[in-house]
Structure 1
Amino acid sequence: MLKKWMRYMLLAACCLTLTGCARKETGSELLTETKDAVVPVDGKVDPVVEETPEGTAFHLYYGDENAENIVQKTVYVDKVTEDSVMEQLAQTLKLDSNIRLKKISFGMHGGDKVVMLDFNQAFADYMKKLSQSGETVVMGSITNTFLDCYQSELLLVTVEGKVLDTGREAYEEYLEWYPYVESSYKVVDAKLEQDGVSITYPQIEGLGDARMQEKWNDIIRSTEERAMEGWLSGGESQDDSYEVSYVVKTMTPDTLSILMNGNICEQGAVHPYGFKYTYNIDLNTGESIRLADHVDVDRLAENLFAGTGYYVEESAADYFRERLEAIYGTPDSLARSLAGYDYAEDGSAPYGYSYLENGKVWICMEVPHALGDYMEIELDTQQ
């Protein structure tokens, strides 16, 4: 009986030892508990990405020039996989070439989606060499990029299946979104004022590409100076006025979209005349973004004639469609006009204007003075 009891005790001790070994496997009891709380997702999990003419697009997060903030940009690859994402991160963050992502897996914790990344030892060695701010930038960039790419809420990082301990931080629990800024540059006010003319126009500061910054600041300043000269030389009454201001609609590392709002007040007029125009800049290429660059204008024209795929104030919807038919006659004629929207690099005068806001495309279309001079129309399409 004693031998039998001793065998039971020995078996129990072995079980406790095995259990203890399992919990120590990650090098952290807290990390083990965190991993155990994740319910694995069966089957393949695909990234949430956008197919574009330039390639498959996803958002990449990285540190700005001073390593003070995490910023975002859009990159294009042939196919988005964990390897292509890590390749882009490695290039942008200048990671050690020996770093490898050994495994990516997915799960659920409560109602939150979890991405789990397991790196090789070279990753831990590299992280230990960084400063506190450098570590924050690297971890934040990896976390935000993978959470964005796989549309998840939580991320778990390990090294060879064990806890990542940099000496400053032990990554034993879920990581969530790190704070980031959409752009590392600024848009500041510049002014032109003289004899009833008041123009507040945008100028870019802090753009990484100084040549691109100078180019667009010159374009915008020259455009507004010509407008001022044209007004002053037109022989308008001293009681007339010309005012312009601007609103930044999109400001990301990839795109700057600015809507200019103007008013002309003429002596004796009951209401001022309003006008709108835009500046849309691709900050990757330095070129002007035109409506036809990212919208199928033929399909858009058909939708506008059919009364679908866009949003306007309900009270103006019927008039808007009637006006399209009266002015353009056919979708083909409207499409030719839409193809000429926005400033071109050749300096030709645009037929109309568009801007980008919250990932949506808006067009500004001229209407009679009684209806406000211009209508802003939201298109049911992503930029």
Structure 2
Amino acid sequence: MKRTLIIPALILAGVCAVWGCGSKNKTDLTSAHTTAAAETMAPSQTEPSEEESVPEVTAADESSESEGSSSFSGVTVDTYSSNNISIEYPSVSDSLSSNASAVNELLKNNALSVISAYGIDEASDSLSVDCKIISANKQRLTAVYTGELSVSGGAHPTAVYYTNTVDLEAVSDIGLSTYADPYTMAGYVMSDDCQFQGLTAEQEQAVKEYKAEQSVSAYQKIFQNADFPLKGDSFPESFSYEVRGEIYLSIPVPHALGDYAIVVFTPETK
């Protein structure tokens, strides 16, 4: 009788050893809930497309790279020069886009539109703009422009910042509303969680104090009109781009604070 009871007990012990007993092997859903929460608060995201199958060439670490243009296969940086005006802008080759000619015209026109948007006098004013390629593949190209404008008779130079993301297949501009919701971004900027790029602790504190005096509705309006294509003759007050899931967008600040500040939104941390 004892042997009969021992054998089933041994079998049961073996099963427990192999498969585990109790609740030890329950799936940990903590990370899944965290991810879902992040996705809920993050800007709207597009469904996977063929673009995702093509590796995107990006700057290895934007924050640590030196200023100026980066080298990308199929992309060159040209320069427009007129008196004291110098503006770099990208050009793509046929190997990167079958619409290279039209794409290059769009890229150049957008880059040079700063002249008319700021009412620059090419005979007397001074403007220097550098172009940095952030990412480039057969679907899209993103460029960031930084520079300085000195107007004849002006009290001080003005920092210039704008970006341009172009769909190389559709030959069209891609703006903030493509990968983010302006209202969501406005709320993020006004929140205590807002992160900035390239500011010292003192500068960041000053910018935070300034933005605290603004409003969600004011930033929402700014972000609704962000990026190319231009919506009128004046430049947008905000420009943006998206890379590796992170969104970078500028907000206007007083000249004493640098003329603009760059906000960084990382959905994974929200």
Query: Which of the five TM-score ranges fits, normalised by the shorter chain?
Result: 0.5 to 0.7
Distance in 2 of aligned mates of 1:273 and 1:194: 19
> Structure 1 pair 59/43, CA: closer, same or farther in 2 (3 Å)?
farther
Alpha-carbon distance in structure 1 between the residues aligned to 2:243 and 2:149: 26
Higher strand fraction (1 or 2): 1
8 Å CA contact 1:304–1:321 kept in 2: the answer is: no
Q: 1:260 to 1:252 in 2, by over 3 A?
A: same
* Alpha carbons of structure 1 residues 285 and 309: separation in structure 2 relative to 1, 3 Å: farther
Greater Cα offset, 260-269 or 272-281: 260-269
Residue 342 of structure 1 aligns to a residue in which SS? coil
Deviation at 1:344, TM superposition (A): 2.9
From 248, 258, 262, the counterpart of 1:372: 258
Q: Secondary structure at the match of 2:132?
A: strand
Alpha-carbon distance in 1 for matches of 2:140, 2:240: 13
How big is the shift at 1:207? 4.5
Mapped pair 1:261 → 2:253: no
**Which of 79, 98, 106 is the aligned partner of 1:219?**
106
Deviation of the 1:285 alpha carbon? 3.9
Task: Flag the 1:257–1:350 CA change in 2: closer, same or farther, 3 A.
Answer: same
Judged with a 3 Å threshold, the aligned counterparts in structure 2 of structure 1 residues 241 and 332 are, in CA distance, closer, same or farther, namely closer
Residue 217 of structure 2 aligns with which residue?
332
In the other structure, the counterpart of 2:203 is 316
Q: Which amino acid in structure 1 is aligned with residue 228 of structure 2?
A: Y
Q: Calculate the TM-score normalised by the size of structure 2.
A: 0.64
In the alignment, which of 203, 221, 236 is matched to residue 91 of structure 2?
203
Which structure would you say has the larger RCO, counting Cα contacts within 8 Å and 6 or more residues apart?
A: 2
Contact 1:278–1:342 (CA<8 Å) still a contact in 2?
Answer: yes
The one-letter amino acid paired with 2:186 is A
Backbone CA RMSD of aligned residues? 3.9
CA contact (8 A) 1:60 1:72 kept: yes
Note the 1:1-383 alignment, pairs <5 A.
54-56=46-48, 72=55, 185-211=73-99, 213-228=100-115, 234=121, 237=124, 240-266=125-151, 272-312=157-197, 313=199, 314-326=201-213, 328=214, 330-344=215-229, 349-381=235-267
1:236: how far off? 5.7
How far apart are the structure 2 equivalents of 1:235 and 1:252? 34
Percent identical across equivalent pairs? Answer: 19
Secondary structure, counterpart of 1:55 in structure 2: coil
How far 1:282 moved relative to its partner? Answer: 2.8
The alpha-carbon deviation at position 362 of structure 1 amounts to 0.6
Cα 1:215/1:316, change in 2 over 3 Å: same
Deviations 1:154-200 (A, max 9, x none): xxxxxxxxxxxxxxxxxxxxxxxxxxxxx995221222222211222
Contact 1:259-1:278 at 8 Å conserved across structures: yes
CA offset at residue 309 of structure 1? 4.3
Change (3 A) 1:229 1:249: same
Tell me, which stretches of 5 or more residues in structure 1 are unaligned? 1-41, 45-49, 62-70, 74-182
Shift, 1:279, TM fit: 0.8
Counterpart residue number, 2:17 = none
1:123 equivalent in structure 2: none
Partner of 1:93: none
Change (3 A) 1:367 1:309: closer
Q: Decide whether the 8 Å contact of 1:184 with 1:207 is kept in 2.
A: no
Secondary structure of the structure 2 residue equivalent to 1:72: coil
Q: Judging changes above 3 Å, is the alpha-carbon distance between structure 1 residues 360 and 280 closer, same or farther for their aligned structure 2 residues?
A: same
- Per-residue deviation, 1:353: 0.3
- Asked whether the 8 Å contact 1:199–1:245 carries over to 2, the reply is yes
Q: CA contact under 8 A between 1:250 and 1:358: conserved in structure 2?
A: no
Cα drift, residue 341 of structure 1: 0.8
Distance 1:321-1:196 versus aligned 2 partners, 3 A rule: same
Q: Report the CA distance shift for 1:351/1:372 in structure 2 as closer, same or farther (over 3 A).
A: closer
* TM score, norm. by length of structure 1: 0.47
* DSSP 3-state at the match of 1:338: helix
Identify unmatched segments of 5+ residues in structure 2.
1-24, 28-35, 57-70
Equivalent residue letter for 1:55: E
Q: Secondary structure at the match of 2:90?
A: strand
Match of 2:65 in 1: none
What SS does the aligned partner of 2:211 have? helix
- Check whether the contact 2:97–2:138 (CA below 8 A) recurs between aligned residues: no
What are the Cα deviations for residues 16-64 of structure 1, in whole angstroms up to 9, with x where unaligned?
A: xxxxxxxxxxxxxxxxxxxxxxxxxx999xxxxx997543468765xxx
Number of residue pairs matched by the alignment? 215
